Amino acid sequence: MDKQWLEGNWKQLKGSIREQWSRLTDVDLEAIKGREEQLVGKIQEKYGLAKLEAKKAVDEFKVKHARKNGDK
């Protein structure tokens, strides 16, 4: 799944992202604007995770939600 998938589905996914990572604020989400590297960075910052852990969490989120939406 490419990095543009998150950006292209950002509006639909913001609520699910807030559920998954409740420490992210509306200001954080506005700054991220669907950019995967920004999301990974904010998750690292807010949850104290290593970059690889945050990246893995975002990748798992993307796979889960792509399946729900019927995307590949």
Q: What is the pLDDT of residues 9-24, one digit of tens each?
A: 999 999 999 999 999 9
Domain locations in the chain as residue ranges: 4-69
Kindly state the average pLDDT of the residues 55-70.
Answer: 88
Q: Reduced to 3 states, what is the DSSP secondary structure of residue 31?
A: helix
Per-state percent for the chain, helix, strand, coil, to nearest 5 = 75, 0, 25
* Separation between Cα atoms, residue 8 and residue 25, nearest integer Å: 20
Q: What CA–CA distance (Å, rounded) separates 68 from 53?
A: 23
pLDDT for 22-43, tens place per residue?
999 999 999 999 999 999 999 9
To the question of domain 4-69 being in CATH 1.10.1470.10, the answer is yes
